């Protein structure tokens, strides 16, 4: 087995540019990196899984504005498809990055874009929102989503943990300002002044309703995502 290199690829800034170019070429919209110690919530991984992985890469892909604009009171088939393709693309980007990093002699652990490991607690292995926030991709907004300066909350996310030394992204300050569009848009009024006010019970009950009664078979909605499009001049 090849030992991990410490010299040729030790410059974090150069490594970041290398990672960024691969991710962009594979279809990423935004890429950021962080030291794992900056992630504010626990990771649900064993020590064996996590061994030696000190850094994280956060990748965002943009959703279709036209699809989101078409939503009226919840998800439709166009959104379901866009959601699934975003997940597939994110998983592919994470897969490709993982292999490229491994080829350079470092370790990498891709986390699924959308996988719930505990249905009781509704958690994934790693919180993509918190990795993205720590990586400087955006802030956690009133809508309880990761909001980016470039595309608002109209992005989906994936994370890759790695031993490849990477730089710390600069944090983005809370930027919702006096925008309350998501609060008005939520069909069950599950949002409030801050992310901490998000009402899981109300949100989940609605998503469950859509999954079963609207034949989505997925816990999706999209109304708070639609309400957070980012800069006005963006198409």
User: Using CB under 6 A as the criterion, which residues of the chain lie in contact with ligand B12 when the complex forms?
Assistant: 40-41, 83, 113-114, 116, 122-124, 126-130, 140, 143-146, 153, 155-158, 195, 198, 200, 203-204, 207, 219-222, 224-225
Task: Determine contact, residues 2/137, Cβ cutoff 8 Å.
Answer: no
Nearer to ligand B12, 38 or 104 (CB): 38
* Cβ closest to ligand B12, residue 165 vs residue 210: 210
The full DSSP string for the chain is: -PPPPSSTT--HHHHHHHHHHHHHHTT-SEEEEEEGGG--S-----HHHHTT--EEEEEEEEPPHHHHHT-SSS--HHHHHHHHHHHHHHHHHHHHHHHHHHHTT--EEEE-SS--SBTTTTB-SS-HHHHHHHTTS-EE-TTSSEEBTTTBT-EEEEEEEESS--PPPPP-----TT--HHHHH-TT----SSGGG--HHHHHHHHHHHHHHSS--S----HHHHT---STT--
Q: Name the residue nearer to ligand B12 (CB basis): 15 or 198.
A: 198
Residue whose CB is less far from ligand B12, 65 or 104? 65
Token pair for residue 164? 């490849």
Instruction: Compute the least distance from the CB of residue 163 to ligand B12, in Å.
Output: 21
Q: Least distance (Å) from ligand B12 to the CB of residue 195?
A: 5
CB 189 within 8 A of CB 202: yes
Smallest gap, in angstroms, from Cβ of residue 17 to ligand B12? 24
Output the smallest distance, CB 135 to ligand B12, in A. 13
Judge whether 137 and 60 are in contact, CB under 8 Å.
yes
CB of 1 to ligand B12, least distance (A): 30
Of 124 and 165, which CB lies nearer to ligand B12 in the complex structure? 124
Q: Which residue is nearest to ligand B12 (CB)?
A: 124
Query: Which residues sit opposite 30 in a β-bridge?
Result: 60
Pick the closer one to ligand B12 by CB: 67 or 113: 113
In sequence order, the β-bridge partners of residue 155 are 62
Nearest-approach distance from CB 173 to ligand B12, in angstroms = 14
Residue 120 CB, nearest distance to ligand B12 (Å)?
Answer: 11
Choose between 152 and 167: whose C-beta lies nearer to ligand B12. 152
């Amino acid at each position: 087995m090849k030992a991990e290199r410490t010299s040729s690829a030790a410059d974090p800034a150069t490594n970041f540019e290398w990672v960024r170019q691969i991710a962009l070429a594979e279809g990423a919209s935004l890429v950021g990196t962080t030291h794992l110690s900056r992630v504010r919530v626990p990771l649900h991984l064993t020590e064996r899984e996590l061994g030696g992985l000190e850094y994280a890469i956060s990748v965002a892909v943009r959703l279709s504005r036209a699809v989101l604009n078409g939503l009226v009171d919840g998800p439709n088939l166009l959104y379901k498809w866009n959601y699934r393709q975003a997940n597939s693309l994110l998983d592919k980007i994470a897969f490709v990055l993982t292999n490229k990093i491994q080829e350079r002699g470092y370790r990498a652990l891709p986390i699924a874009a959308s996988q719930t490991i505990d249905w009781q607690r509704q958690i994934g292995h790693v919180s993509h929102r918190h990795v993205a926030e720590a990586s400087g991709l955006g802030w956690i907004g009133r809508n309880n989503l990761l909001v980016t300066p470039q595309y608002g909350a109209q992005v989906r996310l994936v994370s890759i943990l790695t031993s490849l030394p990477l730089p710390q992204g600069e944090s983005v300050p809370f930027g919702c300002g006096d925008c309350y569009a998501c609060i008005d848009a939520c069909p069950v009024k599950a949002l409030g002044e801050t992310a901490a006010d998000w009402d899981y019970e109300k949100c989940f009950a609605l998503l469950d309703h859509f999954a079963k009664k609207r034949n989505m078979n997925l816990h999706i909605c999209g109304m708070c995502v639609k309400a957070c499009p980012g800069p006005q001049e963006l198409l």
